[in-house]
Structure 1
């Protein structure tokens, strides 16, 4: 059985989000609006084949949402910043499930989404990341672009 590396930044990222992101993107999106938003963001990024938005399983009690390259599982309503968080997971994972969790690639993509869609300036967010001990890659790009076979 293969094990994924520990997601060392996860708790720090969640605490950072609560303090620096959640206050700015608390509007609740209905489930019916999420797939069109994901499709639009994916297209604006110049990508094809966006992940499918699916309902979160009813038995999920502690999980707010989750995502990988192929799907985002979400509840009936979700704050816009959480949708961007999950979209960053989709962008930072491959079709076979490889991901850096809440690592530098995820955080770099997430900051790009926060700046573009919530209008949170990266110049203000970057110092707060350093203060929280969170590493990020300002040049991050979707990982599956590198995973595509050359033609």
Structure 2
């Protein structure tokens, strides 16, 4: 069966939640009390991936502070802008050494066309996942978050 590459919309999410609630009364009670979940899409492409890397193992509040510093220094997030910022400067902005090196690895892959976010809308999840997992500092969790939040793919 072919994978649906269409982004998850609020309408599709609502339909799915209602479908599950019809079969799970306890979940229906939770939805009745708290309402339907909303989508929280992230920025696309390299920016979305780098935000996901930044958020790894941090509170969202701490990650937001670091991310704001990174945006002020690197935006727009191009391979050149990232590679021109030394690892030690990325660390002073709040990234761990491993995350700073991951930023550089992602930028290098972007420059060498080994990371092609503009093509992700037409690639299936496995192809995107394979491309992401080849990047240093990107593991299964980061790849799944990218698929869910950046590409808005349904979690199958």
User: Counting strand residues as a fraction of each chain, which structure ranks higher?
Assistant: 1
User: Counting helix residues as a fraction of each chain, which structure ranks higher?
Assistant: 2
Q: Same fold (TM over 0.5)?
A: no
Which one has more relative contact order, counting CA pairs under 8 Å at least 6 apart? 2
TM-score using structure 2 length: 0.30
